[in-house]
Chain A
Amino acid sequence: MELREKHRLAITGAVIGAISVLLVVLGNPKNMGFCIACFIRDIAGGMHLHTAPIVEYMRPEIIGIILGAFAISVITGDFRPRSGSSPVLRFVIGFFVMIGALVFLGCPLRMVLRLAGGDMNAFVALLGFIAGIGVGCIFLSNGFSLGRANEATRLEGAAFPAATIFVFVMFLAFPSLFLFSESGPGSMHAPVVASLAAGLVVGILAERSRLCMAGGIRDIFLIRDFTLILGFVAIFIAALIGNLLTGSFSLGFADQPVSHDKHLWNFLGMMLVGLGSVMLGGCPLRQLILAGEGSGDSVSAVLGMLFGAAAAHNFSLASSAGTGPGTNGKAAVIVGLIVLIAIASLVTVKERRKYGRD
C-alpha cells in the first residue's frame, strides 16, 4: 500500500517533469512547460479580464488538468461534491497566492521547473516557499481550520468542469472571441492538441497520486512524513535530465527565462504562496485537481486566483521579466502577507476557544 503510494507519486512526478520539458520543445516558454499561475494569468488575458498584450492565451493545459481530474474521479468514485468550508476566505487566499506567484513569476510547480533549468532565483524562492509553509504549519498545529465542508449535489460538483468544457468548446469554435498574444510568453505555446493531452495526463496522474507541491514540505514539518515530497523530487530530477538532454540547462541568477533576480521579492512572493497553499490545503495545481473532483471550495480558490491574475496586470502588481516587481507589486505582497496572517490568526484563536469549551 505504502510502496504503491510512493511509486505512484514518483511516476507522476517523473511524467510531469518529462512532459514539461516536452511542452517547451513544442513551443511553450522556457522553464514553463507547466505553470499553473502563469497559465491562469494567460487565461485571464485570453478572456479579456486583463489586457496585458503579452500574456493572453487560453491555455489548454489548465482545461485538461481540470477535465482529467474530473473524468478520473467520476470513474474511480473520488468525485465527491463538497462545499461550504469558508468559500469567501478561500477566494481571498487564492487571490493573494496568485499575487505572490506573479511577483516571483511562477507557481510552485514552475519554481521546481526553473530550479531544474538551473535558475538559482528559484532556489531563493524555494527558501521563501519553505518559510511560508513553516508559518502555515504553526497555525495548523495550533488549530487553524477553514471549517467543515458539507456534501453538495452532483450538479453543483459538475458545474465547474461543465463551464470549463463550455469555454473550451467556444475557444475551438469561435477563437476570435478570445485574445491571443502576438509577442511575449502568451504567444509561445505548444499545439492545442498537445497542450490539452498533456493537461489531461497530468490531471489524471495528479488526481490518482494526490501530488501537491506544498503538501510534501508541509508533511515533513507536521508529521515527519516524506511520502508527498517524492513527487516534488521526481519532477525536479526528470525535468533536470530533460533540460540537460535538450540543452536548456543554464546555471545562474542572471538572464534566466521569464524571471528576475530581486532576491527579497522572489523570497517574499513565494513565502506568500507557501502560506496561502497551506491555508488552502494544497498548492495551485492541487486546487485545480480538487475543483475537478467537485470541491466547490477549491473552485472558489481557483476563481480567486483568476481574479488575482486579472488584478495583478490591471493594477501593475505582477513583476516584469528582467526588472522585477514595481512599487505596487511590493506593496501587494506585504499586504497579502498581513492579510493571510491576520486571517490565520483570527481563525486559529477562534478554533482554540472552541476547543477550550469542548
Chain B
Amino acid sequence: MVEIDARGRSCPEPVIMAKRALKENEEIDVLVDNRASLENVQRYGRAMKKQVSAKEEGTGWRIEIRR
C-alpha cells in the first residue's frame, strides 16, 4: 500500500499530495494531523469516485482511499 505522510503539511498540500499519488496508484493511504486536511482529502477522494474511510491513528488520522 502506498502511504502518503501529509502530517504537518498545511492546507491544501495534503490534497495535492493525494492527487499526485492517485495518478500513479489506484489505492492509497494518507496520514493527516488536522481536521481541515482530514475533510479536504476525504472530499477529494469521494469526488474521484473512490471508497473513502478514515480512522484515528496516533495524534492524527489515516485516510484509506480504495477503488
Contact = CB atoms under 8 A, between A and B. Distances in A.
Interface in A209-243: 210, 215, 218-219, 222-225, 227
Interface residues of B, number: 21
Nearest to B46: A2
A82 interface: yes
A297 B10 contact: yes
Contacts of A146: 10
Interface centre among B33, B43, B44, B46 (most CB of A within 10 A): B43
Contacts of A2: 43, 46
A222 B39 contact: no
B63 interface: no
B36 to A, nearest CB: 5
Nearest to B5: A148
Interface string B11-39: 11101100100000000000001111001
Contact of A5 (B7, B16, B43): B43
A146 B13 CA distance: 10
Contacts of A148: 7-9
B8 A85 contact: yes
Nearest to B19: A223
Contacts of A140: 12-13, 16
Interface in B46-67: 46-47, 59
B27 to A, nearest CB: 19
B15 A210 contact: no
A223 B15 contact: yes
Contacts of B46: 2
B24 to A, nearest CB: 13
Given A145-B9, A223-B19, A281-B11, A80 B39 contact: no
B31 to A, nearest CB: 12
Given A80-B33, A140-B12, A225-B44, 15 more contacts: A2-B46, A78-B34, A82-B33, A140-B13, A146-B10, A215-B11, A215-B12, A222-B15, A223-B15, A281-B10, A281-B11, A281-B12, A281-B13, A282-B11, A297-B10
A153 interface: no
Interface string A67-83: 00000000000101010
Chain A contact-residue range equals 20 to 34
A82 B7 CA distance: 11
Nearest to A141: B16
A222 B44 CA distance: 11
Interface string A1-23: 11001000000000000000000
A222 B8 contact: no
A80 B34 contact: yes
A150 interface: yes
B47 A225 contact: yes
Contacts of A225: 43-44, 47
B10 A85 contact: yes
Interface string A131-153: 00000000011000110111100
Contacts of A150: 8
Nearest to A82: B8
Contacts of A5: 39, 43
Leading 3 A-B pairs by shortest Cβ distance: A148-B8, A281-B10, A149-B8
Nearest to A218: B12
Nearest to B44: A223
A145 B12 contact: no
28 contacts: A1-B42, A2-B46, A78-B34, A80-B59, A82-B8, A85-B8, A85-B10, A140-B13, A140-B16, A141-B16, A146-B10, A148-B8, A148-B9, A149-B8, A150-B8, A151-B59, A215-B11, A218-B12, A222-B15, A222-B16, A223-B12, A223-B47, A225-B43, A225-B47, A227-B43, A281-B10, A281-B11, A281-B13
A220 to B, nearest CB: 12
